[in-house]
Amino acid sequence: MRIYITNVFVDDQSKALDVYTGKLGFELKNDIPMGQHRWLTVVSKEQPDGAELLLEPSEHPAVPPYKQALVKDGIPAASFQVDDLDSEYERLTRLGVEFISEPTDAGPVRMAILDDTCGNLVQLIQYHGGDGAQAN
């Protein structure tokens, strides 16, 4: 069994596509019209055939209160792994990305949290040692 797709609810799909591709560095995988919305997925440039991230509209009535509660409590809606958190933090800061948490060590990881401007907090994680292996 493999993860095929996961989602993040976004307030505006076009804006989210700009943020997730233009700033965070993902690649567009699918952009299929679906009425007033789109089946809009992105993938890691490092794993173009890997799991897809669906930039899903926040239209369901349960989604806005859910997203607001997560943001209020500082809980990220998604978490992405990077090889060098400090350089990603610097790169994204130069691009105007707002971080609500600067790079911080937390056990086996170094992490930071950013605002995706589409209604979500996103966590960036770097495992100590840089090999991506989780500590047991």
Contact 29, 85 (CB under 8 A): no
What's the CATH code, domain 5-127? 3.10.180.10
pLDDT digits (tens, 9 = 90+) for 40-62: 999 999 999 999 999 999 999 99
The yes-or-no verdict on residue 136 having pLDDT over 50 is: no
| Beta pairing, strands 37-43 & 121-127 | unpaired
CA distance 22 to 94: 13
Task: Tell me the CA distances in angstroms from 135 to 107, 112, 127, 132, one per residue in order.
Answer: 9, 19, 8, 9
Q: What pLDDT, on a 0 to 100 scale, did the predictor assign at position 83?
A: 96
pLDDT digits (tens, 9 = 90+) for 88-113: 999 999 999 999 999 999 999 999 99
